[in-house]
Each structure stands twice: as C-alpha cells, then as structure tokens.
C-alpha cells in the first residue's frame, strides 16, 4: 500500500480525472485484482471515458514486459496515455535514442530505470574515451521528475562522482544501484551513495572502473542496522577498510550477495563468512592468505566456514588463488548452480575434484588453463549446464592453445541443455561446431572466438563457414551469434538464410565482399545490434540495409571499406538515424575510408556532447 | 568456393598494390581456397613450401616465422592509446612500435603499411634493422616504395580487413586494438600475482611468450593528477599539461574546491561565507600564508610542498596533489628537499583516519 502512496506524484496534472485517479491508485495495487469499475469513487459520476481509463489502468498495470507495453501503447491515444501512466520500469537501450526530457515527460511514474550507453566494442578500447554516454543529464532530469525513484541500472555509461552525489541527494527512497561496465567515478562517489541512501538494498558494481580516491567508502554506511541485501564490489581495485566491512556485514542480517575485491585475503574472507552464513552469492576475493600470515600459524577452518553456508548457490572471486585452498569449497559444490573460476589459473587436475561434485551447476565460467581435459571433466558431470564461458589466460594469437575443438566436442556431448556459450580458443574444426549445433539445439547464444584471425578449420583447412552455418540452421532459438575464424561470404549467406531469430551479431575479420553484409541485412529481420570490425564491406553493402536500420538499435562498423560519401548517403536517406563517424587520424589524404561508423536511431537528432573526434553526418 | 567473386573490385584488396602477376604468392603444396590464395601476401625465400596444417611441426613454423616478413597486417595508428583524438598521438604510437620490435627477439617483425605518414617514416628504418635476411629487407623496402608510389589510398581499415592466412597469426599480439575481444580486467592473468591489473592495457604485452608483462599505462593526452582536499570526500583531477606555472595551478585549485569548501562550511557552520572569507581561504596556498596549503606526493611517495622546484621538474615528479589545512602541514614532516620523509604507508593511514571521520 505504501508503494502506491509513493507513486502518486504531487505534480500529477496529466489527466483530467485527478480525484478519481488517486482513488483508483489504491485499487491498482497488485493484491486486489478483482476490483474494477465498481470501486470508482462515489462522489462523482464518472464519465464513460473515465471508466474505460480506469479499467485500462487496472488491466495495464499487470503488464510487466516492456514489449507488451510497447504494443499496448500503440493501440490508441487512450491506451498510450494510460500505459505511460502505469509504466513503472523504464528501459532505454541507447541513451542517445531519446532525450531525458522526452522520457520524463511521457512516463511520469517511473520507479526503476535501466540505461545503456556505449556499444560493446567500447570495452575493447575501440572507442575514444571521451565519446559520451554521460549520465549527468539523465540524473538531473530524473532528480526532478522521479523523486521516488528506487532502482537504477546503468551499463556502459560515464558516471561521475557528482552524478552519484546528486543521486544520493535526490532520491530518498533509493534502493538499488547497479553499475555494469561504467566508468568516470571513484570511491568518493561510492561514499556519497553509502552515506546518503538510507534505504539502500543493493549496491552492485560489476566490471566497472572505479578510481581510487582513497576514500573509505565502506565506513560511510550508516551505523544502524541495514537492509543491505547485495554488495558487489569485486571490480573495485583499491584496498578497503576491512574492519568496517566486517562490522557492516555483521549489522546486515538481510545480506545475501557479497562479492569481495582482491584486497580481501582468505583469512578475512573466513571472518566474514562466519558472520554471514546466510549468504547465497559469494565472491571470495583473492582467495590467498595475506602476506603477513606466518607459515606455521594456525589457519582457520575454511572447510567448516563453507559447510556452514548452506544456502550458497553462487561462488566467484578467486582473484589471486592459491590452488591449495580450493578444496575448501567442497562442502558447497553439490548445491552450486553458478561457479565463476574465470580468474583462477588452475589446471584440470585441480578442477576435477571440485567439478566432480557440481551436479547442479548451471553456469560455469573458467579459464582455458583447465585445458580440454578440464572441459571433459565438466562435460562428464554438469548435465544441467546451460551457460559456459571459457576465457583465455593468454590472449594472444598463438598456434597452440590449451583448449580446442576437443573440449567443445566434449561439452556438446555432455551438456545437452547448453543455451549459452562463449569459447575462446586458438584452433577449431567445423566438425566440432556442427556437432554442437546438433547436440545442443537449445542454444540461444553462440559466441566462438578463434583468436587467430582468419584461421580456418585446422584439420581440413577449410573456412569455418559450414560450422557456423550449422549453428544457425539447427539452433532455432538462436538470438546472439559471434563469429570468427576464416569465413567467406557463404557463412553470411547461411546466416541470412537461416538466422531468422538472430538479434545480435558480431563479426570480425570475416567475409569477402559486400555480399556478405548484404545477406545479413536482407535476411535477418530481427537483427537489432550489428557490430562489425575489420571486414571488407563497403558502401554498397551499407546501403542495402536502408530498409532495416530504423528497426535496429545500432550498427557498428570499424576498419571496413566504408567511405564518408557512403555514410553521407545513409544520413541523408534516413533523417532519424544519427550517423557518427570517428576518424582517429587527422590525416585526410590517406584515402577517404572511414575508420569507425556508429549509427543508431534517435528521436533527438545529433547530440551536442560529442567530442571533436566524432563527426555526426 | 562458389558464390564468391574472383578478383573483382568487390574483393578485399589489400593487394591493390601487389597484383597477382608479380608472383608474390608463394606456391604451396596443400590445398587452399582460391580466395585465400588471392588474399595471401607473403614474403620469403621463393619456393618455400607452406603448410596450413596446424600439425606441422612447431619448429618449422617458427623458423618460417623468423625468415618471413608477413605483410598485410598493420595497425591503425591508434592502437596504443586510449585517447586518440589528436594527431600528436601518432608519435607515441610509433614509439611503441619501436619498443615492441626491439623487445621482440624472436617474434616476427612485421611491416606496417604506410597508411599513416608518421608510422611510415618510422617503420622503414626500423624494418631495415630488424630484418635478418637481406632479400627480405629489400623486398620490404621495395614494397614500401611501391606502396608509396602507387598512392596507396586505402588506409588502415581496408588493409587490416584482409589479413590472410594462418601464418599471420605469428604477428605480435599487440598489433590489433581490441583483439581478441577481452576486457582489460581479464588480461594478464598468467601472472596472477598481486600486481594491479592496469585498466588501460592495450594488448601492449609485446612478447607473446612472456605473458606476464604489465602493459604500460601511457597517458598521451594531458597529464591528469588526482587532487584531494582534506575534509572533502570528492576528489578531483587536474590536467597538469594545461598549465605552465604554479600560479595557474593554484588558481585552478581555488576554482575546484572553493565551491565545495563553501558548501562544507555552510553545512557545518550554518552561515554564509562572505566572498572575502572565501578568497582568503585559498590565498597563499603556495606560500603557506593562507588557510590551506598545497602539497604533493612525488614518484617516490614522499610528501613535498608545492612550489619548491621548477615547474617542469614538478610536473615530472608529481603523482598526486593534496590540499591540507596549513595548521596540519607543520604537524606532518614534509620533505621539501628530501628531508624528513614520512613513509607513504603512514600517510595513507593518516588519510584513512581523516577520511573516516569526515
């Protein structure tokens, strides 16, 4: 009930039925589903339209999926209006697709915002760091429009300490802050959030760059008992005040998720685990003893600490693991559904005793140091596995690599329920990929990264076309695909022909001619995000997608064969598309090929915060 | 393979400048697709056989490696820097190139096509030095020249697009920006010691055999130094290359913190600071006469008073700045000329205490 009170904004002048409105609000709480028009207030006979709107509200508030809501809002004006009033979660996939003002004027009752900024290739330093995706204009707009905001989920945005300070000041009921792959802020900003957001339940920093301002942000949490449920800071690369953290954990009885950074030693981890056996998600920090522990010293009983955590289902961390300590996690293996060893340089022998017990495992992230043998061990036990990520310990382009098609084949045979795979390797065969397409038909995400550029099937010498072709052919639910290795236009013709459900496609160093891109643009109606680098696609190919670009979130093409003339043509043909060209070199003479093209649909036209390197056509 | 065009305009043309007729393509025994052959550009002793098969002996591979200069891969000029918004960045890029080559004892030196003028000039002499085989060098130089003559228009993008064959894989890992697509936090895991992962890693570990080298964080655009003020939780950053004197720096410090200081005082004293008071607070930041004093931490971790050494020397030594209350300055033993040093750890502990109490 209190939620509804929060929801009624003081400045609600959107509809004419103000009084009815506030009364209707109480009816739209989730618990009372039966109350329809009969609960319309008695002091005023409602207009027929009002009745309809009240009905709509009651019904529409049950729509949670944003796709459903988007569809509903297109029915008619009345539905549009009511949908806008009842939407409480706002998802913005590209922060430049619209302005903050437009969002806040349409949706007035938002309590949760998800905002995404830069495209994924920015993670790999392909974008200038000053490119944009600033959170500042959004937070200032939201501070005024959504004072009752509770949740904020940002991905690849540039967030400054000032932004965090404003956030902390403006939203008194703020509960959840999730920052994924963000940058621009430091521990000072965290200090603000910790001290001012008294209702904070979730503070998750995932793969973000947090600068060390030498501020003890952990101590900034209020001293009283906290409702903190999740504290994830494994990416924060600076030391923390451990004693303060221990006290924080002790006064947070609701804490379920705790992911420590690598400044936390295993001895410290033990102290925390003893205080919080109710944890369900644990990031273990460094998983090594601190340097000042003498060798003969009595070590705490790590096994018991893990055994006490009966609810633990997700384990990660191991940032600087001393493998001798790994067996401490035996007691929890049988319950684990998610295990992240992707920072742990361990061998197959060290993995085997662990993985042998992980029958319930659904998500596994590992390093390729476990080799094909390690993957075979995984395949033998983890029959419920639906997500696997194998990261390279040495990201280079060597001919030898610890994992290969052997590991992939084993996984495909053992883990039939696999839905998502990310696999880095040095060599691969079509046969293994085809096998996976047949053994794991439920695949939704298939990302294979053969690190050597243009590398063919190392057994047959053929391009990897047939393998990827089989994937799009056999995996009917495939929505995300990343290709690599030696690929000709034929691979793309397969994708265009069979990849009807593909939404995200990543291409690098592939293809022969414009036809490749053409196949994809004409063949994949669901394509939303297309990122291409270093492939020989030119203007003709780019132009062949004109019919589709408004349906896409973005297109990224770097180091291809596009000219600025071609990009200009697109910009002229599609006025609602923002066409950004980034040329790193000021050297105009070296041909008119465009370095980087990033284009996206937008209601606002060219943005005004672009750095000089970016030219918007 | 059917469906793929032969040598037409549409085909990727790294080889715009090396027409097939020139027999650059070395004959191979094994089967390769015609596209690959087209795209292939190799240098090596004529008649040498190539095998694509991975199970070719590694020793053979490596030998071939060293004797061959593989063309066709080259980098965009921006590979080493995160901030590549200005042409000045080319300089450091080329420097990197030189460094890389000198560090690579065994790895294949590779030729960079002259798409970026600066790199070109650098690469020519370097290549000449690095190449062990005269024929290769000559060929290299020839190619370079012919490339320039032909007014090689497709720049970096086009060429990088067509990097053929498996032997290219021998090229240094640091050659391509953002490849393989791994976030920097996941790099350099082979040396899982306590070294901090550098956030700005750019595939810069040059020798692929030694995976533990820490990439050098190079700040090409400006020199940003953190500056904290006692009692103010939010730290700032200043770009020292933007100033050329201590006066300018002190003005900037004034601007940065004045507002915060006012807010701080307002909330604690409940009063409004008059303009004069504001000014007074920051005057004399350099000479110790005002309420606050500027100190800095140098590259050895020592705390020094700002203003003692010439500006350019200061810029080369400073690692971070701090604005302290003048009363506290005398309490800390500052080394203004390397005397009375306090250990960095002690400093940190003091800072911690200060921060906790704010």
Closest CA to A347 of A325, A371, A328: A371
Nearest CA-CA distance, residue A163 and chain B, Å = 11
CA distance A503 to A386: 20
Most A CBs within 10 A among B58, B169, B200, B219, hence the mutation to make, goes to B169
C-alpha distances in Å from residue B103, one per residue of A461, A558, B109: 33, 29, 10
Strands A89-92 and A112-116: parallel
Is-contact A357 A334, C-beta < 8 A? yes
- Give the pTM: 0.65
Confidence of residue B277 (pLDDT cuts 50, 70, 90): low
Closest CA to A95 of A131, A67, A58: A131
Is-contact B186 A460, C-beta < 8 A? no
Confidence of residue A583 (pLDDT cuts 50, 70, 90): confident
Residue B337: partners with Cβ closer than 8 Å, 6 or more residues away? B308
Q: Tell me: the pLDDT tens digits for A157-167?
A: 999 999 999 99
Q: Would you say residue B88 has pLDDT above 60?
A: no
Is-contact A34 A59, C-beta < 8 A? no
Closest CA to B292 of B231, B240, B358: B231
A533 touches chain B (CB under 8 A): yes
> Picking from A504-508, A579-583, B352-356, which range would have the lowest pLDDT averaged per residue?
B352-356
Is-contact A451 A395, C-beta < 8 A? yes
Is-contact A230 A199, C-beta < 8 A? no
Compare B127 and A408 and report the one with higher pLDDT.
A408
CA distance B182 to B215: 14
Strands A577-582 and A614-616: antiparallel
Closest CA to A598 of A612, A445, A570, A135: A570
A-chain residues within 8 Å CB-CB of B187? 395
The CATH code that applies to domain A49-83 is 1.20.1280.50
**In chain A, what are the domain boundaries?**
49-83
B-chain residues within 8 Å CB-CB of A493? 3
A-chain residues within 8 Å CB-CB of B169? 397-399, 452-453, 455
A497 touches chain B (CB under 8 A): no
CA distance A373 to A406: 9
Select from A123, A424, A585 the Cβ nearest to the Cβ of B77.
Answer: A585
Residue B142: partners with Cβ closer than 8 Å, 6 or more residues away? none
Would you tell me which residues 232-271 of chain A have a C-beta closer than 8 angstroms to some C-beta of chain B? 235, 237, 241, 244, 262
DSSP class of B150:
T
**How large is the average pLDDT for residues A346-373?**
96
Compare A8 and B327 and report the one with higher pLDDT.
B327
A-chain residues within 8 Å CB-CB of B117? 587, 590
- Span between the terminal Cα atoms of chain B, in Å: 70
DSSP class of A426:
S
B226 touches chain A (CB under 8 A): yes
B224-263+276-357 CATH, one of 3.30.70.1060, 3.10.290.10, 3.10.20.90, 3.30.420.40: 3.10.20.90
Confidence of residue B235 (pLDDT cuts 50, 70, 90): low
The reported pLDDT for the residue numbered B193 is 40
Q: Tell me: the pLDDT tens digits for A383-401?
A: 999 999 999 998 777 767 8
Phi-psi region of B40 (alpha: psi -120 to 50; beta: other; left: phi over 0): beta
C-alpha distances in Å from residue A401, one per residue of A8, A557, B210: 59, 29, 15
C-alpha distances in Å from residue A503, one per residue of A446, A558, B292: 12, 19, 57
**Gyration radius (Cα) of chain A, Å:** 26
Confidence of residue A211 (pLDDT cuts 50, 70, 90): very high
Q: Tell me: the pLDDT tens digits for A226-276?
A: 899 999 999 999 999 999 999 999 999 999 999 999 999 999 999 999 999
Q: What is the largest CA-CA distance in chain B?
A: 87
Confidence of residue A287 (pLDDT cuts 50, 70, 90): very high
The secondary structure element, H or E, covering residue B74 is none
C-alpha distances in Å from residue B49, one per residue of A66, A170, A273, A277, B169: 59, 70, 61, 64, 17
Confidence of residue A296 (pLDDT cuts 50, 70, 90): low
CA distance A169 to A463: 57
CA distance A257 to A312: 9
The DSSP result for A190-225, as a single string, is HHHHHHH-TT--EEEEES--EE-----GGGGS-SS-
Nearest CA-CA distance, residue B25 and chain A, Å = 17
Select from B36, B54, B76 the Cβ nearest to the Cβ of A559.
Answer: B76
A397 touches chain B (CB under 8 A): yes
Would you tell me which residues 64-83 of chain B have a C-beta closer than 8 angstroms to some C-beta of chain A? 76-78, 82-83
Closest CA to A367 of A404, A342, A336: A342
Nearest CA-CA distance, residue A476 and chain B, Å = 25
The helix-helix angle for A161-170 and A136-145 (nearest 10°) equals 10
Closest CA to A67 of A98, A86, A91: A91
B94 touches chain A (CB under 8 A): no
Compare B193 and B33 and report the one with higher pLDDT.
B33
CA distance A468 to A450: 12
Is-contact B127 B140, C-beta < 8 A? yes
Confidence of residue B251 (pLDDT cuts 50, 70, 90): confident
The reported pLDDT for the residue numbered B111 is 38
**Contact state of B169 with A452 under an 8 Å Cβ cutoff:** yes
Cα A26 vs. chain centroid, distance in angstroms?
35
Q: Would you say residue A473 has pLDDT above 60?
A: yes
The reported pLDDT for the residue numbered B222 is 54
**How large is the average pLDDT for residues B75-99?**
39
Compare A90 and B249 and report the one with higher pLDDT.
A90
Burial of A334 (0-12, 13-18, 19+ CB in 10 A): exposed
Instruction: Tell me the backbone φ, ψ of residue A419, rounded to 5 degrees.
Output: -115, -25
Nearest CA-CA distance, residue A293 and chain B, Å = 15
CA distance A124 to A145: 35
Q: What letters, b where the CB count within 10 A reaches 16 and e where it falls short, cover A141-175?
A: bbbebbbbbbbbbbbbbbbbbbbbbbbbebbeebb
**Contact state of A593 with B1 under an 8 Å Cβ cutoff:** no
Mean of the per-residue pLDDT values for chain B?
52
> Picking from A84-88, A522-526, B346-350, which range would have the lowest pLDDT averaged per residue?
B346-350
**How large is the average pLDDT for residues B292-321?**
81
**How large is the average pLDDT for residues A288-300?**
77
Question: Residue A87, preceding bond cis, omega within 30 degrees?
Answer: no
Closest CA to B69 of B114, B158, B128, B131: B131
CA distance A14 to A109: 11
Is-contact A443 A421, C-beta < 8 A? yes
Q: Would you say residue A495 has pLDDT above 80?
A: yes
Cα B194 vs. chain centroid, distance in angstroms?
22
Q: Tell me: the pLDDT tens digits for B211-231?
A: 333 333 333 345 677 787 777
The reported pLDDT for the residue numbered A47 is 66
The reported pLDDT for the residue numbered B52 is 39
Instruction: Tell me the backbone φ, ψ of residue B120, rounded to 5 degrees.
Output: -60, -55
**How large is the average pLDDT for residues A422-437?**
96
B186 touches chain A (CB under 8 A): yes
Closest CA to A30 of A67, A65, A1: A1
> Picking from A356-370, A487-501, B78-92, which range would have the lowest pLDDT averaged per residue?
B78-92
B-chain residues within 8 Å CB-CB of A586? 86-87
Most A CBs within 10 A among B41, B178, B354, hence the mutation to make, goes to B178
Q: What's the ipTM?
A: 0.82
Q: Tell me: the pLDDT tens digits for A21-57?
A: 333 343 333 333 344 444 555 566 666 677 777 888 8
Is-contact A308 A274, C-beta < 8 A? yes
Question: Residue B180, preceding bond cis, omega within 30 degrees?
Answer: yes
DSSP class of B198:
P
- CA-nearest residue to B13 within chain A is A536
Q: Is the dihedral of CA B191, B193, B199, B204 positive or negative?
A: negative
**Contact state of A320 with B36 under an 8 Å Cβ cutoff:** no
Would you tell me which residues 246-265 of chain B have a C-beta closer than 8 angstroms to some C-beta of chain A? none
Q: Would you say residue B354 has pLDDT above 50?
A: no
């Amino acid at each position: 009930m209190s939620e509804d009170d929060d929801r009624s904004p003081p400045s609600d002048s959107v509809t004419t039925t103000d009084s009815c409105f506030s009364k209707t609000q109480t009816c739209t709480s989730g618990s009372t589903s039966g109350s329809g028009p009969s609960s319309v207030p008695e002091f005023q006979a409602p207009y027929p339209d009002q009745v309809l709107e009240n009905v709509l509200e009651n019904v529409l508030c049950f729509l949670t999926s944003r796709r459903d809501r988007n569809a509903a809002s297109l029915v008619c004006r009345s539905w549009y209006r009511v949908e806008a009033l009842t939407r409480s979660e706002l998802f913005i996939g590209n922060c430049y697709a619209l302005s903050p003002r437009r969002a806040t004027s349409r949706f007035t009752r938002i309590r949760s915002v998800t905002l995404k900024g830069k495209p994924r290739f920015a993670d790999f330093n392909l974008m200038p760091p000053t490119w944009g995706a600033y959170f500042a204009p959004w937070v200032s707009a939201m501070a005024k429009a959504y004072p009752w905001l509770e949740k904020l989920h940002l991905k690849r945005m540039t967030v400054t300490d000032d932004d965090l300070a404003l956030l902390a000041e403006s939203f008194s009921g703020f509960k959840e802050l999730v920052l994924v792959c963000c940058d621009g802020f430091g521990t000072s900003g965290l200090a603000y959030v910790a001290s001012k957001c008294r209702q904070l339940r979730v503070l998750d920093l995932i793969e973000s760059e947090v600068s060390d301002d030498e501020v003890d942000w952990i101590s900034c949490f209020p001293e009283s008992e906290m409702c903190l449920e999740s504290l994830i800071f494994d990416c924060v690369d600076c030391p923390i005040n451990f004693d303060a953290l221990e006290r924080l954990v002790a006064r947070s009885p609701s804490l379920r998720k705790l992911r420590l950074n690598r400044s936390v030693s295993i001895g410290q981890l033990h102290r925390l685990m003893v205080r919080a056996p109710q944890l369900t998600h644990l990031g273990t920090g460094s998983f090594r003893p601190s340097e000042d522990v003498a060798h003969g010293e009595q070590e705490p009983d790590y096994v018991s600490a893990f055994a006490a955590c009966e609810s633990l289902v997700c384990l990660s961390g191991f940032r600087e693991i001393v493998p001798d300590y790994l067996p401490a996690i035996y007691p929890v293996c049988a319950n684990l559904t998610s295990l992240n060893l992707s920072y742990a340089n361990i061998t197959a022998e060290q993995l085997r005793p662990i993985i042998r017990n992980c029958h319930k495992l659904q998500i596994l992230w590992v390093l390729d140091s476990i080799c094909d043998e390690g993957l075979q061990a995984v395949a033998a036990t983890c029959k419920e596995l639906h997500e696997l990520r194998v990261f390279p310990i040495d990201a280079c382009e060597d001919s030898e690599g610890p994992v290969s098609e052997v590991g992939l084949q084993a996984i495909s045979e053992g883990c039939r329920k696999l839905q998502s795979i990310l696999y880095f390797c040095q060599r691969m065969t079509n046969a293994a990929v085809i096998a996976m397409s047949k053994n794991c038909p439920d695949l939704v995400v298939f990302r294979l990264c053969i690190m050597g550029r243009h590398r063919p099937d190392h057994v047959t010498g053929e391009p990897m076309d047939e393998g990827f072709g089989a994937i799009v052919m056999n995996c009917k639910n495939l929505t995300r695909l990343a290709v690599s290795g030696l690929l000709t236009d034929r691979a793309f013709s397969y994708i265009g022909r069979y990849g009807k459900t593909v939404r995200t496609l990543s291409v690098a160093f592939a293809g022969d001619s414009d036809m490749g891109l053409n196949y994809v643009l004409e063949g994949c109606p669901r394509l939303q995000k297309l990122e291409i680098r270093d492939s020989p696609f030119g203007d003709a190919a780019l132009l062949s997608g004109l019919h589709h670009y408004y349906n896409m979130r973005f297109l990224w093409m770097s180091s291809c064969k596009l000219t600025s003339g071609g990009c200009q043509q697109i910009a002229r043909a599609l006025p609602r598309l923002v066409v950004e060209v980034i040329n790193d070199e000021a050297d105009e003479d070296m041909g008119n090929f465009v370095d980087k093209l990033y284009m996206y649909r937008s209601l606002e036209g060219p943005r005004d915060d672009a750095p000089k390197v970016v030219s918007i056509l | 393979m059917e469906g793929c065009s032969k040598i037409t305009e549409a085909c990727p043309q790294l080889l715009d400048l090396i027409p097939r007729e020139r027999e650059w393509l070395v004959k191979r025994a094994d089967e390769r697709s015609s596209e690959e052959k087209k795209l292939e550009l190799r240098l090596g002793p004529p008649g040498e056989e190539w095998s694509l098969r991975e199970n070719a002996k590694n020793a053979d591979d490596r030998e071939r490696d060293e004797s061959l200069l593989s063309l066709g891969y080259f980098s965009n000029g921006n590979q080493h820097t995160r901030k590549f918004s200005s042409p000045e960045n080319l300089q450091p890029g080329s420097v990197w190139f030189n460094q890389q080559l000198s560090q690579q004892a065994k790895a294949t030196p590779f030729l960079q096509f002259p798409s970026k003028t600066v790199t070109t000039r650098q690469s020519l002499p370097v290549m000449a030095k690095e190449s062990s085989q005269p024929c290769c060098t000559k060929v290299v130089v020839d190619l370079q020249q012919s490339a320039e003559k032909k007014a090689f228009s497709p720049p970096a993008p086009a060429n990088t697009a067509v990097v053929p064959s498996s032997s290219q894989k021998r090229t240094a890992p640091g050659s391509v920006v953002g490849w393989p697509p791994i976030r920097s936090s996941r790099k350099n895991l082979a040396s899982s010691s306590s070294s901090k992962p550098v956030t700005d890693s750019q595939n810069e570990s040059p020798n692929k055999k030694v995976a533990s080298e820490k990439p050098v964080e190079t700040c090409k655009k400006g020199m940003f130094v953190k500056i904290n003020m006692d009692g103010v939780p939010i730290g700032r950053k200043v770009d020292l290359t933007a100033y050329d004197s201590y006066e300018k720096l002190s003005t900037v410090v004034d601007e940065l913190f004045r507002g915060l200081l006012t807010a701080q005082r307002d909330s604690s004293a409940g009063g409004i600071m008059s303009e004069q008071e504001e000014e007074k607070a920051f005057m004399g930041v350099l000479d110790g006469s005002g309420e606050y004093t500027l100190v800095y931490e140098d590259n050895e971790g020592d705390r020094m008073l700002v203003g003692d050494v010439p500006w350019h020397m200061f810029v080369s030594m400073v690692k971070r700045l701090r604005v302290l209350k003048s009363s506290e300055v005398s309490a800390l033993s500052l080394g203004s000329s390397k005397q009375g040093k306090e250990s960095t750890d002690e400093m940190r502990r003091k800072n911690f205490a200060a921060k906790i109490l704010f």
